[in-house]
Structure formats: structure tokens, C-alpha cells
Amino acid sequence: MSSEVPEQPRVMRRILRGPRPDAVPALIARACMLVGILDVAAGVFPRFRNSRMHRMAEVLPGALGPFAAALSLSAGILLLLLAHGLRRRKRRAWRAAVVLLPAGAVAQFLYRHSVTGVLISVLLLLPLLLHRNEFAALPDPRSRWRALANFVLMGAGSLGLGLIIVSVHPHRMVGDPSLSDRIEHVLYGLFGFEGPVDYHGNTSWTVGFSLGALGLLTAVTTIYLAFRPEHPAARLTEEDEAHLRALLEKHGGRDSLGHFALRRDKAVVFSPSGKAAVTYRVVSGVMLASGDPIGDVEAWPGAIERFMDEAKAHSWTPAVLGCSETGGEVWTRETGLDALELGDEAVVDVAGFSLAGRAMRNVRQMVKRIERAGYETRVRRIRDLGEGELERIRHAAEDWRDTDTERGFSMALGRLGDPADGDCLIATAHRVDGQGEPEASQYGDLKAVLHFVPWGKNGASLDLMRRDRSADPGMNELLIVAALQAAPKFGIEHISLNFANFRSALARGEKIGAGPVLRAWRGLLLFLSRWFQIESLYKFNAKFQPRWEPRFVVYASSRDLPRIGLAAMQAEGFVNLALPRFLRRRFRSARPCAHRRAERRAEATSRA
């Protein structure tokens, strides 16, 4: 299939460069942040209030009478929280700021008769009102887990600030309380009670009001997040999935990552004609698409424009992870975004694969050694497996996973054995003893599983690799060779293996003549390989003599790359903010985890 992209007529086509805030929202956000920092400093540090800047500190929002420190802290933290939303042009942040600033101005006038304090609030309020149309971004997907995250983060921040507040009055402190006494005083103060630390003069009131304000602010924000209406993340509906499957049926051979668009934790936007689509997930304010658009390449610009419109409406940062060279060209041409090579995808052509030759000697020897140890392989379509065997494979794959959550986003389907995925290919390794009888274990003779999703009508793309840790090394090599050798029987001509991040840098950096910059970059990648599978995936893929297909990340600005990188790591499962697996299992059922696991093992053994 040709990968040539036809030129589209540009009839007043907008060049959407992503939802970067313009000068006014950015300036207002910086002003709110600056005033918030000054408010917090005025509430925390007494020397700041008594320094040359005391006049400014006294007229900042919140500096009111005997409650100056507490109110300064509250107003400062709220302004800091609102600054991020204002930068992203969020409508709700604008509404909160419009309410907070007049309230501060009224309080300044009534309690201090401070004209300067009123002017500061008005100077921030006027641009907000004059440019209200700039703040029209819709809310992000959210759930009530945000309340728990807020409680943890705000609680930790309040504890840290509280320790500073307690400790910045050394000359007024009675005695020399220990660190544990100060922490105890902070914890009591957050709940509005007196702690073990005492001060001379009115300092006890200042510290007490400040700690109480921190505790109240933590409680109010947590309660608000817990009881506000949910705005859940979009999910792939049955209608959308059916539409995507129809597009993949016609155009699925263009991109090896196409079938992964059917993950049900993604949302989708379609082109006006319905002939193309872009699937995505929103992670930490980043609208993250993966792979190329699905469908007819001539309709890609329409789907991309819908994607960018959605990003702009919510003030999300647009990004594409793992698109092909053709996809990158279309994305950058239609949107004005930039592209950066992320790594290479290993693709093995079945017709040219053979275990013969010196280059394949290590793989050949490993496969033969494992086969002599009593292992055999089976390669089948998912639809050809019985329900009992499929359930046993599901349980084994879950228990053999070495992380709390399923990893993968751009090259993972996130499920195994779904009835709608009957065309998926599964390769299993089984251990038999010398008499040809299966070796009994928790999952019978099953020792390793590889799962492949369709890549058009004549290809397959690796989705999942799992093995029993007690099995002999080399299970993955054995099953990949078995899948390649069995591929012709299923009409498969090429198989996509793992994605190797920064493969070209690793390959070029180890060659003679590599420059110091390239060698330093390779050294950094090797260092990071201690925690992330960078070098190991590259070397594993290289064993099978694949052809390398470059993959790209598309982004709006270089300053977005750290944020996009963090969002991608969250989406792929390398940064996990979810509950541990044992806690999730406990919440799913009232039965103890150990009982359920014992029942599962007994069931798997009986089926074997």
C-alpha cells in the first residue's frame, strides 16, 4: 500500500499551533502567582512583615487586622492554586478569581480602610473582566480520586508550612521544644487545638490562626473536590468501537499500531466525513494521541483538525506519541506542530526470517536448548481457544505481571481474550516431562504467553509478553520464533515486535568515530536503562534481524516536552498514581485476597 500523502487544498485552513495561552492570560497568571507568593511570605515570615516591604505586605489581599497572617496564607495559597488554571484559560479558575479579588478588596476597605489594598485587587480584577472571553476553556476529565490527592498534597504542604510557621519565632518561643513537639503542635493546630509549643506575647495567637487557616483550607478544598459533580474521562463507546473497526477493516494495514486504537480507555474524534479518526487519552492536561490517525489518509486532515479543536476548547496540550514518518508529516503540515524522532519499531518480514546463519546462532542455540528441556509451543487464534483454557491464560498473565498496573498505551490493547478480538493471535509455551505428560503447576503446563493483535489482513503486532518466573530463560525468544514460523499458516507476512526508544542513538553511539556528544547521550541512555527498558529492548529486538521503522513524537513547543514526557510515562504505566494491586482487589470484593487467590489456583489446577 502506498504511503504517499496527497496534498490538500488550503482554503483558509487555520494553522492550529496548540492551546498556548496568549499574553494576557499568561500575564494575569504571573501576577496572581506573584501576589500569592508575597501573601504566603507575609503570613509565614514575621521578618518579612517587619522589613522594608512591610507596607506592601500590609496592603496585600488578606492582610487584615489580627488575622493578617492567617488570611494572607489563605489568600496566597488560593491565588497560587488559581494561577495554573488562569494560565490554561480555565473558565472556573476565572470565576473563582473574580469572586476572590472583590472579596479581598471589600475586606481591605472595611477592616483597614486601605485604599492601596483595594487598588491591588482592582488592578488584578480589571484585566480579568476586560478579557473574560479569553478564559473559556472547559473542565478537564476528573473523578473523586482528586479529593484524595488534594488531601495528601495539601496536607503535606500544610505540615511543611506549619513547621516553618512554628519555627520562625525563635526569640519568642518558650524553652527549646524538640522537632517532635513542633510536629505535634502543627498537627494539633491544623485541627484548631493548642499544642505543646508556647510563645511570649501575641505570637501564640498568630501561629494558632495561621495553622487553623491551613487546616481549614485543606479541609474545604478536599470537601469541595469530593462532592463536586464528576466529569469522567471519556471512554470508547460501542458505537465508536464499531466505527473504528470498520475503518480498520479497510485501512488497518497502513499502521501497525492501528488496532491499539481500540483500547476502551481512549476517546475518539472523527473527521467530518467519518472516514478517519484520532483516538486519544487526556493525562495531566495533555491530550495524548498514539500512532497515526485511523482511516483514509485523505481524510486525516479533517480528523486532525477536530482533535486540535477539542484540545483548544479544553486548553489541553496536544501531543502525538509514536506516529510513523507519514503520520508525522501530515501532523506537522496540518497543525504547525514539531516532530522529534522517538525511536524505532522492529518489524520482521516472515518470508525472509530463518534461524540459519551466523547472525541467528545465539537465538537458534537458545531455542534448541529450551526445546530439549521439554518445552513445546502452540500458536492459535483467540477464537480457537476454549473458554476454560482462555480463562486460565488470563489469570496466568495477570499473576505473572511484575507491576501493579497494566503497562502500555501506544502499543498495548489492555485486554486479553475479549470476544470481539477473535482475530488476535496467541502463542503459548508448555512444559512437559520426559514421558510426554504435562508438568503439573499452578497453571498446569502453561509457562509463557505472547499475544499479537491484527495489523491489517496480513500482519500482526506484538501486544503482550508474559512468562512464569520459574520457567527457563528464553521463553520470549522461543515464542517469537514459533509465531514467525507459524505465521504463513495464518496468512501473516510481517510481525511488529517491541518498540525500541532512542535505538539510533544507541546504535550510532557505540560505533567507531562517534563524537563526544553522541557518546555522552548514549552513556545517559545506558544509565537510564537501569530503571527503564531502553538498551535491553533494543538488543532483544535486534536478535531477530528486523527492519527498523522510525517513530516520532509530535508536540507544540519544546517547553512542553517535559510535561508530555511525564504524561506519556503515566499513560504507559511507568509512573503509577493508582492504588496498589492488593488494595484494588480488596475494594473489588469483600472476600480476602488470599481466599480468592487460593480459589483461583484450585480452579486452574482442576482445569489443567
Structural element, H or E, at residue 221: helix 203-227
Alpha carbon distance 60, 176 (integer Å): 33
> Predicted confidence band at 83 (pLDDT cuts at 50, 70, 90)?
confident
More confident residue, 531 or 316: 316
Asked if residue 70 has pLDDT above 80, the reply is no
Alpha carbon distance 99, 92 (integer Å): 11
Asked if residue 594 has pLDDT above 70, the reply is no
| 338-349 and 375-381 strand pairing | unpaired
Structural element, H or E, at residue 379: strand 375-381
Alpha carbon distance 385, 359 (integer Å): 35
Burial 296-330 (b: 16+ CB within 10 A, else e): bbebbbbbbbbbbebbbebbbbbbbbbbbebbbeb
Grid coordinates representing 164 are 516553618
Four-CA torsion 117, 123, 125, 127, nearest 10 degrees: -170
Q: Quote the pLDDT of residue 587.
A: 38
Average pLDDT over residues 458-472: 90
Candidates 472, 470, 488, 371; CA nearest to 425 is 488
Between the CA of residue 543 and those of 79, 337, 351, 473, 481, what are the distances in Å?
A: 55, 35, 17, 15, 11
Asked if residue 72 has pLDDT above 70, the reply is no
Alpha carbon distance 270, 264 (integer Å): 16
More confident residue, 160 or 15: 160
> Predicted confidence band at 590 (pLDDT cuts at 50, 70, 90)?
very low
Cell numbers 482528586: residue: 146
Burial of 228 per CB tally in 10 Å (0-12, 13-18, 19+): middle
Start-to-end CA distance of the chain, whole Å, equals: 45
Q: Quote the pLDDT of residue 144.
A: 61
Alpha carbon distance 234, 320 (integer Å): 18
**Residue 237: φ, ψ to 5°:** -80, 165
> Predicted confidence band at 231 (pLDDT cuts at 50, 70, 90)?
low
Average pLDDT over residues 526-535: 79
Alpha carbon distance 50, 36 (integer Å): 18
Asked if residue 450 has pLDDT above 90, the reply is yes
Burial of 259 per CB tally in 10 Å (0-12, 13-18, 19+): buried
Q: Quote the pLDDT of residue 47.
A: 57
Candidates 461, 447, 440; CA nearest to 377 is 447
Asked if residue 40 has pLDDT above 80, the reply is no
Average pLDDT over residues 133-158: 76
More confident residue, 484 or 114: 484
Lowest mean pLDDT among 277-281, 413-417, 570-574, 596-600: 596-600
Model pLDDT for residues 471-530, shown as the tens digit of each residue = 888 899 999 999 999 999 999 999 999 888 888 887 877 777 777 887 887 888 888 777
Candidates 279, 154, 131, 273; CA nearest to 217 is 154
Q: Quote the pLDDT of residue 115.
A: 65
Do residues 411 and 463 lie in contact, with contact meaning Cβ atoms separated by under 8 Å? yes
Asked if residue 460 has pLDDT above 90, the reply is yes
Percent of the chain surpassing pLDDT 70: 77
Structural element, H or E, at residue 282: strand 276-283
Lowest mean pLDDT among 164-168, 395-399, 531-535: 531-535
Q: Quote the pLDDT of residue 584.
A: 46
Q: Quote the pLDDT of residue 515.
A: 77
Average pLDDT over residues 352-364: 90
Asked if residue 350 has pLDDT above 80, the reply is yes
Residue 103 is classified by DSSP as H
Average pLDDT over residues 84-94: 82
pTM above 0.85, yes or no: no
Q: Quote the pLDDT of residue 232.
A: 57
Contacts of 303 (CB under 8 A, 6+ apart): 269, 270, 271, 276, 277, 278, 293, 295
Model pLDDT for residues 197-214, shown as the tens digit of each residue = 888 877 787 788 788 888
The per-residue pLDDT of the chain, averaged, comes to: 79
Average pLDDT over residues 418-441: 77
Contacts of 332 (CB under 8 A, 6+ apart): 338, 339, 554
